[in-house]
Amino acid sequence: MTTKISGIDILEIGAKGKESSSPWSSTMAILRLTTSDGMVGYGEAPTTLMTLPVIESMKEVARFFEGADYLDLNHNLDTFYRNSFYLSRSMEATSALSAFEIASMDLIGKHFGAPVYDLLGGIRRDRIRVYANGWYSDCITEEDFVSRAKEVHRKGFTAVKFDPFGASFDTITPEGLKKAESIVSSLRSEFGDKMDLLIECHGRFSLKAAKEILDVMGRYGVLFVEEPLHPELSHLLAELRRHSSTPVALGERILDKEGFAELVSRNLVDVIQPDITNCLGITGGQAISQISDSFGVPVAFHNAFGPIQTAATLNLDHSIRNFLIQESFEEFWPDWKRKLVKSGYRIEKGHARLEGKPGIGVDVDEKLLDSHIVAGMEPVDKSEPPWVVAGTFSKARKYES
């Protein structure tokens, strides 16, 4: 069996025509590595308003992986690290390299006929608790959120993440904070302790606003508040932590294990959220989880893009010691994205499980993949940022006015 990479396909895929999902969910950057004997490995990179830069960076990485031995993964990663001067500060470069790491791990698992989680030391849990995200499109009022959350609960989910802050940005008015509290209060009253509530801030608030938000959210026993500060204000995390004991989670924009080491060693965060599509893939995610475990900090991997990312991440969830909970958009994806993988993992009754196939564990529908190739920048709606769940920002602005 040859272990040389002979083919590299970098694909932008999406729905042709009008897309009903949130803008960041409308396109995917998929990597396909092929060996000369026909074995295929898949990787994925994030796309949020940077699809074309990431794809161009993937082409740069390809020059170092073409003809390389995929079993020499550490060597291949080190070679690009040595050549990529801005890797540690470039999300485009780390995302591109992460896609190649994931696809290489897929090939390595298939080479040995083993799931990736076995290569990581085997499973510690046979099912993965997930929380629902993406479920609250167009939700504005507390009644909207409660009604939709009931549907989610009926699907078996016992945890939901959501952004109750509407069109607030940087600052939040007393009225905006009261509105957010009413949404959270209504959900807590409806579900009691049957539903964990995870609060999404999307990294968009000042220190003053973040303090106010943590004060309010802490009254309702939330599992955590995610990215309460603008990421460039991370130097203020220590002050925020001194102000409030409400659990804080973050990490989707941190690119390497060193960044996470600083967070956990300085007690700046309660939960870390690495994204393996930008923090150097599966082996990067494993290293980050081990560092965090040594400081008693649990991991809840960020997972907002597609099924290749989900499958790769689930391999880590099965194997790491300090797993907390896993993000899942699957139930709320557009149909084409849900069908991209024919088999490999299931999400039932609020839990995910890999089926134990070699590599990252999925069978990709190549016909669907090829029929959904698109080109160009992902769509954008200037009335609402591309990082929100559709309809929750622009419609909130109209509602509040």
| Active site (catalytic) residues | 202, 302
Q: Please work out, in degrees rounded to the nearest 5, the angle formed at the alpha carbon of residue 132 by the alpha carbons of 175 and 338.
A: 130
Residue with tokens 């302790």: 193
CA distances (Å), origin 342, targets 26, 318, 366, 367: 19, 21, 10, 11
199 bridge partner residues: 162, 225
Residue 159 makes CB contacts below 8 A (sequence gap 6+) with 129, 130, 131, 132, 195, 196, 197, 198, 223, 325, 350
d(CA 348, CA 127): 10
User: Which structure tokens are listed for 159?
Assistant: 């945890």
Q: Count how many residues are written for the chain.
A: 401
Residue 230 makes CB contacts below 8 A (sequence gap 6+) with 170, 203, 204, 205, 206
